[in-house]
Structure formats: structure tokens, C-alpha cells
Structure 1
């Protein structure tokens, strides 16, 4: 790798004074927000203030935070590289995000909000018992630590590629600043820093897109170049699950992954539950979708422009960078490097994505450790008195651990986006399946749920590890070229190539194990497959061991999904689709009048008896109308 060199001129470029100032200001502003909220809330003693912002937050910062949390540095670096390498089919992910937003706002959020619990895993104990809650919480902690490690590593990799600054130094700095401001101010700080960082992300992406388009003769020219080289494609409707990115794979398969992130992930549930009413929480959830759409669209467009810029000289083959994940930082060098400050804006953009995700993870893991392990098993009285102090100590410890995880991850190679999706999806499916089995299938009992979870987890680990170890052939990226590379500029000679042997007929795969076809399944289906296996096994085992009678279930733990999805159907059709669950008149979420913060007087909706559930499209919490 030749760090910091322009691919066109061979001129070495590094950060200037203005770049460092702008980059540093982002860190200083984030830390300042943390100090401000630490001082402002210094007299507050409730852990709810630290983890839920006292349930008094505004929908705007919450929606910006929802957008920024999982559209992290992995998205900012990985999506342009994905478009560059494999084309635009990935853009169908916006449909998955739309489905996830609707599902999260109207299926899962009402249940979590009205339970008034800090940890979403407390639901699992109420539905299936403490064992299920504990093992699921442990898996969530491991999953989030690994994901945060990816997110810490990705922006540090970008910074190293642009400036030559040590990768380890970058990771130490990011982890320290992020842990500091999260420890100081809790969720309030996380939400407001996320809002700032979302703005910086948009500014950085726009700067790269505008200047990059100028460098390629305008965006329309860049589009034509990418189209001529097979990068512009939106019409792959293959039903084959082995197709890495088809319409169904990305839009439908990806929707399960994003439903997990927005519907039952602790970090997102905490944000939504920080609002004073459920209706505002749902509005914030919907307001976050334009942010998702904007960031994904900008990163896809940047990928198109980036390919046009390097269409005749692939930087990895040229030897300027070692991996595709470093293409965007190099592109910034070549397009923004001569304009003081813009490189700093870009790096601040990438780090903003990383900081938002890491801070969210730190706060969420602190809440889970406190509520699911420390409070139930020991030190309950201590938590009541010193809950905020314990939460801050936990953030510090988790911050140190996730740095160690990031160091291990730095040893991996390959596309960051796919690898992080795969690892996260393997564990997301079983967790998602547990909540679906609990909220949608009333027959699931305390035996079926953990067995289904463990079977699904084992199956998904086998699938993920099998595909990683065996690496069956099948997926091939689109071709790249080095015909216009200026080898003299970097003091190298063009590599000598040996002609590939002539192949006749098709490749013989008769000796290939049949499991290889299974290992070739697109990573986008992992979460959905894990969820389906968990639900199927849970329900079957529940019937074999004595299923739960729907009429005995607390309706606050269930979602009348057919009332949510088909409110226009007559009551006579919808009633049997509630599977015998009695949604009685005391259920808090049945009218908007009941959307009051804990402690306020509840109101009983009119015209509802103990044996029916009538959806009011205007006021119903489960209405699809906002």
C-alpha cells in the first residue's frame, strides 16, 4: 500500500492544518455536549434519566439519532465500495428499510413502550421466564461488542488511509472520546451528539459527491461510464436465494435484518422509549426514514462516481490500497485533497457515523447489564441508590472491551459491509425469532422458546462458519481494469500476467459437496432464516410440551398483527385471527388517550368490551395512520 498518494499524479497528500482543525472540532463538540448534560443533570439520581432521558425527549433529535445509529461508518465506507465492486442492486435496501420502519413503529414499539421497561429483554422474562431472558441478553452483548468493534475499526482504517496516522492511535482516540461523552451524559448526550453527527455525515457525503462528480465530467457522465461497465442494474428479479443481491434478496431478505434493528434492538428501543408519548415515538420512527433514504442514496451515488473515476485504473490492482474498503478514502484524496478543509469534513463524516453507533451501543449494553444481570442477581439495593454511577462504570468497562475486539477485527480482510452484515445477521435471526414467537404466536411456551432459540442459533452458526471456512465458489465481482494506470508515477512497473488457460464447456462440480449450494445462500437471508427456524421450532416444541392457552396470556405482551395490517377487515374476520387472545378494555395502548407517561391517570376507551378488540384508525396505537 502506498498511503497518501494520488493515483493520477503520484503526489503525496496529507491532512492540512484546516483539515485537522475541522476534524478536531467534531470531537470537541461531541465532548462538550457530554460535559453540558453531565452538569445540567448532575442532581438527577434515577437510572431512567441516564438510559431513557427521563422520557422527555423531542422527536426530532430522536429521529436523527435513529437514522445515524445503524447507518454507521460501515455504511459510509462499505456502500460506495459495494456499488463500485458489484453494482447498484444493493439500492433496493431502501424498500427493506421502509418495511422495517412500518413494522417497528406499529408492531413492536407499542408493546415495548407500554411495558415501561428499560431493557427490552425484560419482555422475554415476562413471557417465557428468566432463563430465556438471560441467554438472549448474553448473546445480544456478544453481538453488539463484535459489531461495535467493526464500527470502531472502519473509520480508523479510513483515517489511516488518508493521513497515514497509526491505525491503533485512531482507534484509541475514537474509543476514548466516545466512551467519555457517553459516560458523562447518558442517552441525552447520545441523542444530541447523534444529531450533530448526522448533520456532519450529510455535509461530508455531499462534499464528496459534488467534487467527485466534477472530477468525472459531471454526474451524468459518471452514470454513463458506470452503466457501460455493468454497474447500473436494478432489474435482477431472480428467486434463487444464492443470488447475492436480487430484488427479493435485498428488499425482502434485508427487511428481516432491518426489522430486527429497528423493531427489537435495545439501542433503538431505548431511543423510541425516551419520548413522552407513544404517538410521538411512532412519529420519530417514521421521521427517521427520510434520513435513512438520504444517506443510502448519497452513498450509492458516490459509489457510481467513484467507479467512473477509477474505471480504467483499479486502485487495489494498481497497488495504491490493499483492499476495497479503502477505496473511498483514496477517492477523497484524489478529488478533495487539493481543497483545504474538505478532506477534514469527510473524515469527520466517517467518524461521526462511527461515534453515533458506538455511543448507542455503549449506552444500550450498560442498560442491559444493569437491568438483566446486576439488578436481578445481585446488588438490587445498591442499584436503587447508585444506579447512575454503576451505569457510568459499566460504560467505561465496555468501552475498554470493545477496543480489544476492534483490534482483533483489524486482522480480517474483505468487504467490511458484507462481513459485518453476515456476523450480525447470524445472531440477529434467533433473537428476532424469540420476540416474534412471543408477540405473534400466543401458543409458544417457556420450553419451546429457549429450545427454538438454541436450535436456530446452532443452525445459523453452522451456516455462517461453514460458508466462511469452505468458501465455496460462485460469487464473482464485476470486472475491473488497470489499462490507464500511471505506473511510473508511483515508481512501479506493470505486473506481468500469464494468460488464463482456455476453458471448454462448464466447470465440473460433480465432486462438490451438496452443502456448498446451501453455503452460497446470500447473507441478506440470514436473519430471516434464523427467525423462521426459531419460530417454527418454538411453536412445535410448545405444542409437544403443552402449549400456552391464548386466553391466559396478558394481552400487553401480544400484538394483534392482523388488526395492525388489515384494520379495514370486518370484526367478524379479524376476531378469529387474534387466536383467542383477549384484548381487554384495560389494555393501555388501545387509544391515544392512554399514551401518557407513567404515573399519569389512565383513561378507559369507550365502546370496547372484554371480549373484543376494535381498532380506531385515528386513535389506535396500532393504526397505520399517523
Structure 2
């Protein structure tokens, strides 16, 4: 009987058919793009789709890239266990979209970059660029390991398929269409996978509404169970989710993901015009709202069904991230093919994120390392290097999936990784974009200082997780479970899942465990950003500030045509202005109108216009 615990059905033949059809369809997109673009072997075509993409597919790809299998599996479990506070991310998504579209897009689009980290060399130096790229590679490989593990766990839970077999299959499919089709294959596959993800959520909600007597009953049950108390205005930074941690800390975290993360930047700079690039971000915002809303309501549906028999407390599942797969087989197994659709949804989210990560990793490796070391490589050689690196990073990400098995809740672990590494990087970019006095020494020391700080608190929080009322864990019940139940539903796994947050041991906790290490994971990014900027500005001031002879105004957010001379002395600026006259302005305007992207000009080049 639904909602009373115990073993549930497994995959039927039609479920396997639906699931396999999705995977084959994804691989088919890569093959189609490879055949269609077989004559286009340039690096720009492979990594940026020839910079001819339009807003709608790019927007769907942006949404799918980080609305992964982690979202499909982790977000409903979040709503079930902690309530709807996570829904407040709709505010963070709006702030992120506006900041990225109006501040970062014009800058990156104007510079015509392929790797986000090219900016760091333009503004600071090559050493900082290499460090930034290396941090991104480490972060992305770790995150992608989590993304691969989450749906593999779901498949193992529902079908009993070998966990390692699923992991390898995920990586191989992604490697196939990334290697053959490049960014175009990734984007168009994301479009298809986004539709499948949303369909999976709708299937769960629709069936749950039928079983419970309507959406109103689901909402009523959620309210009775305390799941609708989203607006907690407690300013305590140690509480896991409050209005402030999500809107302030969450906004900063998502800005770091969309504004400087290569996976996302690579998409909107592939647009044919800056108008398309901005529009893709605002459409993406709507896509994020729809996705997180469906995911949260799926979690509320799950609570309505299991309000009297929690599968986790009843040992029907072994980890919180297995709750939604368990629900799917409990309520949808009577509809052949529908459970397959859900697993395809989780799998689709994974394929989109993994393929995005692989493509972005290839881009930064080629632009920041390969081209720097071997400057005379032909386009054909670069093309083969791109394909080879796609294979390499694909298998590297599969290997990192093992790390994900010991990181607890996949949703929080994934966002924690971004906070710890992206926070200091975002601080470095903001330091360079807004403060002309910042120099290379300040940027480097600030970045390392911010990184040490976030790694300290982030790793400490993994070792000594927060306990008690700081984690906002809501009560559950097992009073309605069948008396004969209590069997563990999980299929044997080569890894042991981490215990739920409420079950984490609280022994031998150091003094910092209930203060510093209990800082909300959503503040990791804000902490890293502020620390990097403050340290960077202080060190820059102590080491001479902006005394360099030239400052290129294209590297700053607010620029005027004569900001090239803002860091020069008055006499130098006057002499240069007399020499160049009005031609500088005319030359820049002509260059802009000819193409939205134009090469950076320093003062010496500007004087030759």
C-alpha cells in the first residue's frame, strides 16, 4: 500500500525502453552535430559553437547545466526534510541574473574571450591566471563527481543495476557527444534533457495529487507538518537556511557560478550578439524558477504521502538522496515506462552537467595551458587535442565519483564546493573589475588568503557538521508504517552512504565546531569573496597601489573612452590626449560597431589609431 513503507517494485521492460531511448537520443545529438559540422574543425567552432548561438537554446542549456541530477534527487529531499526555505532561491536567481547580464556579460563579451581566466592575465598576470584556472579545474572535477554519483545511486536504488556500471555508462555517453559534437552538441542535448527533467517532476506531482486528493491537500499536509515556514528572518549566520543565508549568501554563490564559471560563461559568449547573451540569462532565470518550484513541490508531494511513515526512519532507504527514487517506484510502478521517465530525468540532468563540465574543462585547458606552451599549433592539431582532452576529463570525472559517496547530502556538498572555491575567485574578479588600485601582488595574496579561509571553514564543516536547531531538520513519523516492515530497501552498494545530518556523531568536537565550523554553507562564498577583496585591497595599498604606467579601461566595469589614462600622471595623460586627439574615440566606436567583440587596446596601440 502506498505510503506505508516496505519494499517496492523494480524496473519493468518499458521502463528500460524509455530510459534507454533517452540515452540513445542524447548520444544521437552528438553524432548529428558531428556529421553536420564535420567540415568545421576550428577551436572556436568546437568550444563556442562558432559564436552563432541564439538566446532560447542557450538559456535552456544554462538552466540544465546546474539543474542536474543533484537537483532532481536532492532538492525534493531538501523540501521533505527541511521545508520550503530552499524556495527562496528564486530571489537569488533573480539577483544573479541581473548582476551577470548587466555587469559581467558586457565585459566578457567585449573582450571576446574563450576562457574566463584570460581576464585574470589581462588584468593581473599569467601566474594568477594559471592559479585561477587550476582552482576551477579542481572544483569542476569534484563537482562533476558528485553529479555522476547522484543518479547512479538512483539507478542502483530502483533497478539494482551495478553502481560502477552506471557510473561508467554516464561518463562514456557524455564523452561520446562532447568529443564528437563540441559545444553545439552539448547545448542542443541540454535542451532535450531540460524537457525530460521537467516532465519527470510533473509525473511525480500529478500522480501524487491523484493519490492525495488534489494539490490543495498536498499543500495542507505540508503546512500541518511545518514544511511551509520559509521566511525565517533570524540573522544568525550559523543557521543552515534562513532568509538572509539564502538571499544574501545564496545570491553571491549563484553569481559566482554564472558570472565567472567557465561552464556558464562559455555558453553566453557563444551567442551571436550581446542582446542574445543577456536575453539568455533572463530566460534562464525563468527556467530556474520553474525547475526549483517543481522540485520543491515534488518534495512536498513526497511528504504528504509519507507523513505517517518516513522511509528513512523506517530503514526503507539508506540515505536521504534515495527518498525520491523510492517514492517513484512506490507510486508510479503501476504505469510502465513512467518510472523510466523519472530515472531518465535524473540521468538527463547528469548528462547535461557532465557534458558542460567536460566541454568547459577542455576550453580552459586548451586556452590557458596548451596554447601558452605551444603557440604554433595548427587548428587541426588543436581540434585533435580538444577531442583527446574530452576523453581524458570524462574518465577523470568518473573516477572522482567515488569521492562523492562520502560527502553526505549531495545537494549541500555540491553547493559547498562552489562556495569554497568560487568565492575567492569571484572576489578576485570583483577586485580587478571595480578597483583600479588593485595590483597583481594584492590580487594573488587576496586570492590565497580567501581560499585558505574558505577551505578551513568548509573542510571543518564536513568533519564536524552542525547539529541541533542550526540545521532546521523537521520532525517525521513512523506511526503509519506496516508492523512487518523495517527491511532495508537499498541495493548492495560498493560504498557506504553517509548518515543523515541528524544522525551525525557529536563526539570529540573542538571548540570551533559549534561556531566557526557551523557557519551556514551558503556563506562560504560570501566569506571568500569579501576576504579576497579586503586582503587584496590592503596588500595592493601596501605595495604601491595602481602605479602602473597604463590602465586599460576595457578591463573595468565602468569605463569611458578616456579611462585609458586614469592611472597615468596628469602630464602623461595630457601628452597622450594631445597626440591622439579625437581619433581614439572614433576608432573605438568604429571597432565596436563593426563587431561586438574587439581586441583589447593598451595606450601604445591606442596612439596608433
Instruction: Give the match for residue 241 of structure 2.
Output: 245
CA distance in 2, matches of 1:97, 1:549: 38
User: Shift of residue 234 of structure 1?
Assistant: 2.2
The 5 A counterparts of 1:92-131 are 92-131=88-127
User: Shift of residue 252 of structure 1?
Assistant: 1.2
User: Shift of residue 390 of structure 1?
Assistant: 0.4
Instruction: Give the match for residue 585 of structure 2.
Output: 585
User: Shift of residue 265 of structure 1?
Assistant: 0.8
User: Shift of residue 515 of structure 1?
Assistant: 6.2
Instruction: Give the match for residue 554 of structure 1.
Output: 552
Aligned match of 2:444 in 431, 447, 450?
Answer: 450
CA distance in 2, matches of 1:589, 1:163: 61
Does the C-alpha gap of structure 1 residues 480 and 443 become closer, same or farther in structure 2, counting only changes over 3 Å?
A: same
CA distance in 1, matches of 2:295, 2:69: 11
User: Shift of residue 67 of structure 1?
Assistant: 0.8
Instruction: Give the match for residue 398 of structure 1.
Output: 393
CA distance in 2, matches of 1:470, 1:148: 24
1:132 has 2:128 as partner: yes
1:232 has 2:215 as partner: no
CA distance in 2, matches of 1:46, 1:193: 21
The 5 A counterparts of 1:456-467 are 456-467=450-461
Does the C-alpha gap of structure 1 residues 211 and 128 become closer, same or farther in structure 2, counting only changes over 3 Å?
A: same
1:29 has 2:25 as partner: yes
CA distance in 2, matches of 1:521, 1:202: 33
CA distance in 2, matches of 1:409, 1:306: 25
Counterpart secondary structure, 1:317: coil
Counterpart secondary structure, 1:443: coil
Post-superposition Cα deviations, 1:424-470, rounded to whole Å, max 9, x if no partner, equal 21111111111111111111101100110001111111111222223
- Tell me, yes or no, if the aligned pair for 1:93 and 1:251 is still in contact at 8 Å: yes
> Which stretch shows the higher mean deviation, 97-106 or 482-491?
482-491
CA distance in 2, matches of 1:447, 1:224: 57
CA distance in 1, matches of 2:144, 2:296: 23
Instruction: Give the match for residue 278 of structure 1.
Output: 274
CA distance in 2, matches of 1:465, 1:313: 34
Instruction: Give the match for residue 334 of structure 1.
Output: 330
User: Shift of residue 513 of structure 1?
Assistant: 2.1
The 5 A counterparts of 1:307-456 are 307-377=303-373, 379-410=374-405, 412=406, 414-456=408-450
Instruction: Give the match for residue 212 of structure 2.
Output: 216
- Tell me, yes or no, if the aligned pair for 1:556 and 1:587 is still in contact at 8 Å: no
User: Shift of residue 487 of structure 1?
Assistant: 3.2
Structure 1: gaps of 5 or more residues: 493-508, 564-574, 603-609, 611-626
Instruction: Give the match for residue 144 of structure 1.
Output: 140
- Tell me, yes or no, if the aligned pair for 1:276 and 1:597 is still in contact at 8 Å: no
Instruction: Give the match for residue 503 of structure 1.
Output: none
- Tell me, yes or no, if the aligned pair for 1:19 and 1:343 is still in contact at 8 Å: yes
- Tell me, yes or no, if the aligned pair for 2:148 and 2:167 is still in contact at 8 Å: yes
Does the C-alpha gap of structure 1 residues 590 and 97 become closer, same or farther in structure 2, counting only changes over 3 Å?
A: farther
Instruction: Give the match for residue 529 of structure 2.
Output: 531
CA distance in 2, matches of 1:214, 1:579: 67
Does the C-alpha gap of structure 1 residues 183 and 491 become closer, same or farther in structure 2, counting only changes over 3 Å?
A: closer
> Which stretch shows the higher mean deviation, 6-15 or 308-317?
6-15
Does the C-alpha gap of structure 1 residues 451 and 339 become closer, same or farther in structure 2, counting only changes over 3 Å?
A: same
Post-superposition Cα deviations, 1:449-506, rounded to whole Å, max 9, x if no partner, equal 01100011111111112222233534341111110111325679xxxxxxxxxxxxxx
CA distance in 2, matches of 1:224, 1:527: 35
CA distance in 2, matches of 1:453, 1:307: 43
Does the C-alpha gap of structure 1 residues 98 and 592 become closer, same or farther in structure 2, counting only changes over 3 Å?
A: farther
CA distance in 2, matches of 1:386, 1:135: 26
CA distance in 1, matches of 2:260, 2:7: 49
Does the C-alpha gap of structure 1 residues 39 and 139 become closer, same or farther in structure 2, counting only changes over 3 Å?
A: same
CA distance in 2, matches of 1:194, 1:589: 37
User: Shift of residue 516 of structure 1?
Assistant: 3.0
- Tell me, yes or no, if the aligned pair for 1:249 and 1:525 is still in contact at 8 Å: yes
Instruction: Give the match for residue 566 of structure 1.
Output: none
User: Shift of residue 103 of structure 1?
Assistant: 0.5
CA distance in 2, matches of 1:429, 1:308: 37
1:17 has 2:17 as partner: no
> Which stretch shows the higher mean deviation, 161-170 or 134-143?
161-170
Instruction: Give the match for residue 196 of structure 2.
Output: 200
- Tell me, yes or no, if the aligned pair for 2:10 and 2:159 is still in contact at 8 Å: yes
Counterpart secondary structure, 1:453: helix
CA distance in 1, matches of 2:515, 2:53: 49
CA distance in 1, matches of 2:464, 2:264: 35
Structure 2: gaps of 5 or more residues: 489-506, 578-583
User: Shift of residue 367 of structure 1?
Assistant: 0.6
Post-superposition Cα deviations, 1:556-590, rounded to whole Å, max 9, x if no partner, equal 110029x9xxxxxxxxxxx9xx9999997369699
CA distance in 2, matches of 1:359, 1:93: 25
- Tell me, yes or no, if the aligned pair for 1:442 and 1:550 is still in contact at 8 Å: no
Post-superposition Cα deviations, 1:251-272, rounded to whole Å, max 9, x if no partner, equal 1110011101111111111100
Instruction: Give the match for residue 164 of structure 1.
Output: 160
CA distance in 2, matches of 1:76, 1:45: 35
- Tell me, yes or no, if the aligned pair for 1:198 and 1:352 is still in contact at 8 Å: yes
CA distance in 2, matches of 1:539, 1:76: 41
Instruction: Give the match for residue 468 of structure 1.
Output: 462
Instruction: Give the match for residue 191 of structure 1.
Output: 187
User: Shift of residue 45 of structure 1?
Assistant: 2.7
1:82 has 2:78 as partner: yes
CA distance in 2, matches of 1:550, 1:64: 43
1:541 has 2:536 as partner: no
Post-superposition Cα deviations, 1:87-120, rounded to whole Å, max 9, x if no partner, equal 1111111100110000011101111111112111
CA distance in 1, matches of 2:513, 2:482: 45
Counterpart secondary structure, 1:316: coil
Does the C-alpha gap of structure 1 residues 520 and 268 become closer, same or farther in structure 2, counting only changes over 3 Å?
A: same
- Tell me, yes or no, if the aligned pair for 2:109 and 2:596 is still in contact at 8 Å: no
Instruction: Give the match for residue 283 of structure 2.
Output: 287
CA distance in 1, matches of 2:350, 2:162: 17
Instruction: Give the match for residue 39 of structure 1.
Output: 35
